[in-house]
Amino acid sequence: MTPQSGLSFDQAPPILVPFRFFLSAPLFGLLAAVLVLVSGAGLLESRWLPPVLAFTHLMTLGFLGLAMTGALFQMLPVVAGAPVAKPVAVSLTVYALLVPGILLLVGGFLAVFPLAIRLAMILLGSGFLVFILAAAVSLKHGADNPTAQGMRLALLGLAVTVSLGLALASNYGWGWWLADRVRLTTLHLSWGLLGWVGMLVVGVAYQVVPMFQLTPSYPKPMTRRLTIGLFVVLLLWTLLYLGGMTPLLPLDGTLFVAGFGLFAGVTLRLQTQRRRKVSDVTLLFWRYGMGALLAAPLLWLAGQFFPEFSEGAAYPFLLGTLFIGGFAVSVVNGMLYKIVPFLIWFHLQSRLMGVGKVPNMKEILPDAKMRRQMWLHFASVPLFFLAVWLPPLIYPAAVVFACSMLLLEANLLSAFGVYRRNIKLVS
Ligand code: HEM
């Protein structure tokens, strides 16, 4: 048992259970960057263009979805005290359904190929169903703490997102039978970004920010009420939106701005109170992510006051860049740099105990390598943001982002190489 993590050897799933997902995620980011390079500046004309939808899902399902799913397989035993039953078989099934499902969905968008979309629906629908059921059963028997509560709500958010996504995809798979495409898409993306991604990040932060960044704990009243409060606000927003009560929507949305703003503000403040004042890569990734999480809702709010701005083509691209690229990708990237070396060290510790020397985390993944990739990511977000006004910037943005994802993959693979070399020595 490691006192720092509360993780015990017999509870931890085999290393490949989360790593299969972690090592695949940056490859989807790389595909997304290549897609932007191939599509060029024309991409920015409308959010409804097939390459934009393909890009969005390479990032939300490919990069974020796979990394978050892998992290949940790892974290459920730790935070909820209840591992997923048969983790190897379940995680392999989920992986084998999701990866081709994402590729077929993206390919189907790009090639306007209904059969690919239909197959993607079957694969993604069943992959997420297996994952959600397995995680829900684990959480049902697990502990009841604020992180477990955040995970439960995030899983509900994922279930709603996937159901709406499948309904929308059926439009592409079986002809345009769903007339209310725009409204359903707004609901789908709100549940995906706020209900699934946002809720999971908040819930997981309660555990990992104090643990990995050595900060004081989040205030108790906040950890007890914030995720459930945000979930109720999202439900209310959905009802108001479906009921056509549009004048009330900005009011409800302001509660979101306040909730996520509170979370980002408290996280930044806790980080200034950390016990060891050295800056590390994860800390910087989280700071950058929190900055974007403060900026995105302000931009959304600006759109509520200036409808000519929110109705323009630039608005969704600016919001998406800030929320997906600036916030979600940064936080997940930063987390990977803590979880990956930690798990390698943890698994080597159990295998090498009394047999050989266990490399420390800095030897597994050196700081300089992570920093190089971090700066590339930090540069890519403002480049994408500015490209919305200066379209030729989309090319350097995509090149920098591609390099960032390539380097991330190389860093994760080199860390995994340390694990494999050491295991070979003792087997
Ligand atoms: C089974 C999984 C999913 C399927 C089948 C799916 C399908 C779709 C489809 C068909 C659309 C386009 C709607 C239209 O053109 O009428 C769409 C839009 C969108 N989806 Fe998904 N989706 C899935 C998961 C997700 C997830 C998990 C997220 C976020 C975390 C997400 C974020 C988005 C966003 C942001 C858009 C709007 C894109 C834009 O405005 O250009 N999707 N989705």
Pocket flag, ligand 1, residue 152 (CB < 6 Å): no
Give 163 Cα–ligand 1 centroid separation in angstroms.
10
Tell me the pLDDT band of 36, cut-offs 50, 70 and 90: very high
Give 340 Cα–ligand 1 centroid separation in angstroms.
29
Residue 128 near residue 102, CB atoms below 8 Å: no
Predicted confidence (pLDDT) per residue in 226-244, tens digit: 999 999 999 999 999 999 8
Pocket flag, ligand 1, residue 173 (CB < 6 Å): no
Pocket flag, ligand 1, residue 198 (CB < 6 Å): no
Q: In this structure, how many other beta carbons lie within 10 angstroms of the beta carbon of residue 64?
A: 24
Predicted confidence (pLDDT) per residue in 105-134, tens digit: 999 999 999 999 999 999 999 999 999 999
Burial tier of 170 (Cβ tally within 10 Å: 0-12, 13-18, 19+): middle
Please state the atom number of ligand 1 nearest to the C-alpha of residue 125.
1
- Report CA torsion sign: 234, 208, 62, 149: negative
Give 219's DSSP letter: P
Pocket flag, ligand 1, residue 169 (CB < 6 Å): yes
Instruction: Give the mutation target among 35, 46, 53 for probing the ligand 1 site: most ligand atoms within 8 A of CB.
Output: 53
Give 70 Cα–ligand 1 centroid separation in angstroms.
20
How far CA 401 is from CA of 107, 219, 340, 382, 413, in Å, comes to: 21, 36, 21, 11, 18
Pocket flag, ligand 1, residue 53 (CB < 6 Å): yes
Tell me the pLDDT band of 10, cut-offs 50, 70 and 90: low
- Report CA torsion sign: 52, 56, 61, 64: positive
Predicted confidence (pLDDT) per residue in 37-72, tens digit: 999 999 999 999 999 999 999 999 999 999 999 999
Q: Which pLDDT score is estimated for 246?
A: 83
Pocket flag, ligand 1, residue 401 (CB < 6 Å): no
d(CA 289, CA 337): 14
- In total, the chain counts a number of residues equal to 427
Q: Which pLDDT score is estimated for 146?
A: 94
* Tokens at 377, concatenated: 């990511």
Identify the residue whose C-alpha is closest to ligand 1 atom 40: 47
Residue 102 near residue 124, CB atoms below 8 Å: yes
Pocket flag, ligand 1, residue 201 (CB < 6 Å): no
Q: Which pLDDT score is estimated for 9?
A: 54
Please state the atom number of ligand 1 nearest to the C-alpha of residue 61.
27
Residue 180 near residue 261, CB atoms below 8 Å: no
This prediction has a pTM of 0.96
Burial tier of 343 (Cβ tally within 10 Å: 0-12, 13-18, 19+): buried
Instruction: Give the mutation target among 36, 56, 64 for probing the ligand 1 site: most ligand atoms within 8 A of CB.
Output: 56
Place of tokens 């490949």: 16
Identify the residue whose C-alpha is closest to ligand 1 atom 2: 162
Q: Which pLDDT score is estimated for 5?
A: 47
Pocket flag, ligand 1, residue 192 (CB < 6 Å): yes
Identify the residue whose C-alpha is closest to ligand 1 atom 10: 169
Predicted confidence (pLDDT) per residue in 369-398, tens digit: 999 999 999 999 999 999 999 999 999 999
Give 178 Cα–ligand 1 centroid separation in angstroms.
15
Predicted confidence (pLDDT) per residue in 336-363, tens digit: 999 999 999 999 998 888 788 899 999 9
Please state the atom number of ligand 1 nearest to the C-alpha of residue 158.
27
Pocket flag, ligand 1, residue 65 (CB < 6 Å): yes
Give 138 Cα–ligand 1 centroid separation in angstroms.
27
Please state the atom number of ligand 1 nearest to the C-alpha of residue 172.
10
Instruction: Give the mutation target among 189, 300, 317, 323 for probing the ligand 1 site: most ligand atoms within 8 A of CB.
Output: 189
Mean of the per-residue pLDDT values for the chain?
93
Tell me the pLDDT band of 2, cut-offs 50, 70 and 90: very low
Name the β-bridge partners of 7: 2
Q: What is the mean pLDDT of residues 134-148?
A: 90
Residue 300 above 50 pLDDT? yes
Residue 275 above 90 pLDDT? no
How far CA 281 is from CA of 14, 89, 140, 335, 362, in Å, comes to: 26, 34, 34, 10, 12
- Amino acid letter for position 190: S
Predicted confidence (pLDDT) per residue in 191-224, tens digit: 999 999 999 999 999 999 999 899 999 999 999 9
Give 405 Cα–ligand 1 centroid separation in angstroms.
22
Predicted confidence (pLDDT) per residue in 244-270, tens digit: 898 888 888 899 999 999 999 999 999
The phi, psi pair for 217, rounded to 5°, reads: -70, 160
Residues sharing a CB contact under 8 Å with residue 14, sequence separation 6 or more, in sequence order: 87, 88
- Smallest CA-to-CA distance from 344 within 260, 419, 244 is with 419
Q: Which pLDDT score is estimated for 3?
A: 37
245 three-state secondary structure: coil
* Tokens at 222, concatenated: 């906040």
Residues sharing a CB contact under 8 Å with residue 424, sequence separation 6 or more, in sequence order: none
Pocket flag, ligand 1, residue 106 (CB < 6 Å): no
Pocket flag, ligand 1, residue 188 (CB < 6 Å): yes
Pocket flag, ligand 1, residue 127 (CB < 6 Å): no
Pocket flag, ligand 1, residue 47 (CB < 6 Å): yes
d(CA 351, CA 300): 50
